[in-house]
Chain A
Amino acid sequence: MKIIFLIVMLINFAQASDATIDVIKKVEALPNIAVEDATLTYDETFKLTFFKSIVADLNVLSIFNVDRHYKTGYFGDDVVVENKDVNYVLKYEMDEGDAHSLIVKVVLLKNREEVFSKTYRVGDSTVYMFVSHAIAYDLNEFMGEPSVEWMKRKVIFSRIVAPRKSEIVIADYTLSYQKVVVQGGFSVFPKWANDEQNAFYYTSLDANEPKLLHVDLRTAKVTSLLSSQGMLVCSDVSKDGTQLLLTMAKYGQPDIFVYDTKRKRYKRVTTYSGIDVNGQFLDKNKIVFISNRLGYPNVFSKKIGSPDVEQMVYYGNSNSACSVHGDYIVYKARESSNSFSKNTFNLHLISQKTDFIRRLTATGVNEFPKFSKDGDAILFIKSYKFQSSIGIIRLAYNKNYLFPLKSGKIQSMDW
């Protein structure tokens, strides 16, 4: 009896740590937090913009009930009368430093006692959002919650500006900051080359043959790695940055190859005569990819060097994009059976270790799913009722957040 009880307990503990199980928390009182602006310089528009950014970031942390009302106060250990009963009050003061730099002093009061303070500085007020992200990150660390390192990471995406014309843009995770880094040609499928995010790969379609290029952001040096007739995409980069998974049409039809950046050699991984694309490293020797070998796009896995292929998803009629972190795979699934109806594409999460599927979105067209580096969050693009948004899914908190998107048509994205 004791053994049976022990086995049941072990099973329950195992399931509790599986992200594919919906996290349905009992109603729990999250601590309240209010934000007070003590800024004396800068105009009202900029002050309100910064306030909105801070409130949005605090919301995404999912550890506070955030008061969205804009209030002004004095910088110090006192609060405005409306906030006297609030658990936490975040007070900040912005100031202009030398050479138009932005300085932000921050203090966190808990029950009206100072528990945290810090000063942030950036070169220009136009990059205020990075200060906001850094503040939220530090508060999350102070509260002892799981890391949100992804909040400080940059997103790289390609945007179609006209038929066969696109540009590559680097942005923050909300896409409110954007800097164009490649312009004027037909440049697609950008991919970060390393964890430091100081280099990236992309495909240029300006010549008759697609070319894979590497760009070093520190030196602006552009290096051509490969060219291939028909198609050439860098789908994934290994953790140490030495191996790339490419979709190439070297033999006239799209297959997945693994490319060694040090030896400058590639090896074919898939040989199916149809479509094999979007390879993602599960580990050093195993990949997940999209293939139409069953007559429609679906998710499969295989070991590099082995001919055996395993079907990963047994649900849906068109699962055409995926992203991987550890044992987890998020994929995009078409949920209407008719190709020409109002199509809904939702994101689903599966695990290699269990049979559960968790649906992550409910409405609209949800695409470009990308795990954060630490697997804590998923970034995606949502189109619903003529509005496009960038979305963040906090897996552990079962919450989705949306930021309005005014970036034009996104072709491809990496985080």
Chain B
Amino acid sequence: MKSLVLSSVVAAIVVFSGCSSKEAMVDKSAANQGTTKEVKSVASETVTKDNAIVTSEDNSIKVLTKSDIEAKLLSVYFAFDKYSIPVDGSVNVSTDVTTIKSDANGFGIKLEGNCDEWGSDEYNFALGLKRATSVKKALVAEGIAASRISVISYGESNPVCSDKTQDCWAKNRRVDFSLIK
């Protein structure tokens, strides 16, 4: 056993001593041709925090609340002591029909009739109701199911203003929309 190890060591010494005398072979031809050309660095873009954000507007679907939809529904205004829808009121009704058929599709519609302060309140409650009914008829004519629509009147008890002016009285002669789940 001892003789085997000894002979292996001797063999290794002979092999490695023979390699150490070699010199590395270097190609000297390139060194003789000048310095190496520096190439352009690869164009890079720094991605900052700002640019990295993907905006939610572009990518998410916005959910409208009940209040948002009600804010889109336009009130319909009426002439003094009248409950037929005037021409500009019809424009509002058409706009409202679009909203009801789209955004408000899952809701019931409550039409709230209102009046200015002139006349007795019982008469005004009836007048407000007729106004709400006129709007209901207009909505049904445009394809809204009658079963989705209810009407109520608040007479002169739900004013949006209290000034004694024609402008304020005109604002109070109206039908408002509200949504019911």
Per DSSP, chain B at the interface is mixed
CA distance A163 to B112 in the complex (A): 13
By the criterion CB–CB under 8 Å, are B121 and A412 in contact?
A: yes
Q: CB-defined interface of B74-114 with A at 8 Å, one 1/0 digit per residue? A: 00000011000000000000000000000000000010000
CA distance A334 to B120 in the complex (A): 11
Partner of B120, one of A186, A252, A253, A320: A320
- Shortest CB distance A239–B (Å): 21
Q: CB-defined interface of B128-167 with A at 8 Å, one 1/0 digit per residue? A: 0110110000000000000000111111011110000010
- Among the interface residues B130, B154, B180, which one has the most CB atoms of the partner chain A within 10 A? B130
- A167 contacts chain B at the CB level, 8 A cutoff: no
- Shortest CB distance B33–A (Å): 95
Chain A contacts of B154 at CB under 8 A?
A: 164, 186, 205
**Which residues 364-379 in A have Cβ within 8 Å of B in the complex?**
367-368
Partner of B119, one of A235, A252, A297, A368: A297
- Shortest CB distance A312–B (Å): 16
- Number of A residues near B (Cβ < 8 Å) is 41
**Which residues 160-215 in A have Cβ within 8 Å of B in the complex?**
160, 163-164, 166, 186, 188-189, 205, 208-210
Segment among A17-25, A225-233, A398-406 that sits at the interface with chain B: A225-233
Chain B contacts of A318 at CB under 8 A?
A: 81, 119
By the criterion CB–CB under 8 Å, are A339 and B80 in contact?
A: yes
- Shortest CB distance B123–A (Å): 5
By the criterion CB–CB under 8 Å, are B119 and A320 in contact?
A: yes
Partner of B150, one of A229, A367, A412: A229
Chain A contacts of B126 at CB under 8 A?
A: 231, 247, 254, 275-277
- A94 contacts chain B at the CB level, 8 A cutoff: no
**Which residues 260-277 in A have Cβ within 8 Å of B in the complex?**
274-277
Chain A contacts of B169 at CB under 8 A?
A: 340
Chain A contacts of B151 at CB under 8 A?
A: 229-230, 249, 252
Name the residue of chain B whose CB is nearest to the CB of A386: B164
Name the residue of chain A whose CB is nearest to the CB of B116: A339
Name the residue of chain B whose CB is nearest to the CB of A322: B120
CA distance A308 to B39 in the complex (A): 108
Q: CB-defined interface of A302-314 with B at 8 Å, one 1/0 digit per residue? A: 0000000000000
By the criterion CB–CB under 8 Å, are A163 and B159 in contact?
A: yes
Partner of A247, one of B119, B122, B133, B152: B122
By the criterion CB–CB under 8 Å, are A189 and B122 in contact?
A: yes
Chain B contacts of A249 at CB under 8 A?
A: 129, 151
Name the residue of chain A whose CB is nearest to the CB of B79: A339
- Shortest CB distance A289–B (Å): 10
CA distance A322 to B37 in the complex (A): 108
Task: Say yes or no: A320-B123 contact (C-beta < 8 A), given A186-B157, A230-B151, A252-B151.
Answer: yes
By the criterion CB–CB under 8 Å, are B123 and A297 in contact?
A: yes
By the criterion CB–CB under 8 Å, are B122 and A208 in contact?
A: no
Partner of B122, one of A163, A274, A278, A340: A278
Chain A contacts of B133 at CB under 8 A?
A: 230, 252-253
CA distance A268 to B152 in the complex (A): 20
Chain A contacts of B132 at CB under 8 A?
A: 230
- A108 contacts chain B at the CB level, 8 A cutoff: no
- Shortest CB distance B55–A (Å): 40
Chain B contacts of A392 at CB under 8 A?
A: none
- Shortest CB distance A186–B (Å): 7
Task: Say yes or no: A277-B180 contact (C-beta < 8 A), given A230-B132, A231-B153, A339-B80.
Answer: no
- B73 contacts chain A at the CB level, 8 A cutoff: no
CA distance A205 to B150 in the complex (A): 14
- A111 contacts chain B at the CB level, 8 A cutoff: no
CA distance A275 to B129 in the complex (A): 10
By the criterion CB–CB under 8 Å, are A208 and B129 in contact?
A: no
Partner of B123, one of A164, A188, A208, A275: A275
Chain A contacts of B121 at CB under 8 A?
A: 188-189, 411-412
Chain A contacts of B177 at CB under 8 A?
A: none
By the criterion CB–CB under 8 Å, are A163 and B123 in contact?
A: no
CA distance A274 to B131 in the complex (A): 11
Partner of B125, one of A164, A231, A332: A231
- Told that A208-B150, A231-B129 touch, could you supply 12 new A-B pairs with CB distance under 8 A? A189-B122, A209-B152, A230-B129, A247-B122, A249-B129, A290-B120, A320-B119, A320-B120, A340-B80, A340-B166, A368-B120, A411-B157
In the complex, 20 of the A-B residue pairs with CB atoms within 8 angstroms, ordered by the A residue number, are A160-B157, A164-B157, A188-B155, A208-B110, A208-B152, A208-B180, A209-B150, A210-B152, A229-B152, A230-B132, A231-B126, A254-B129, A275-B127, A290-B123, A318-B81, A320-B119, A321-B120, A332-B120, A339-B80, A340-B169
**Top 3 A-B pairs, shortest CB-CB distance:** A321-B120, A254-B126, A275-B126
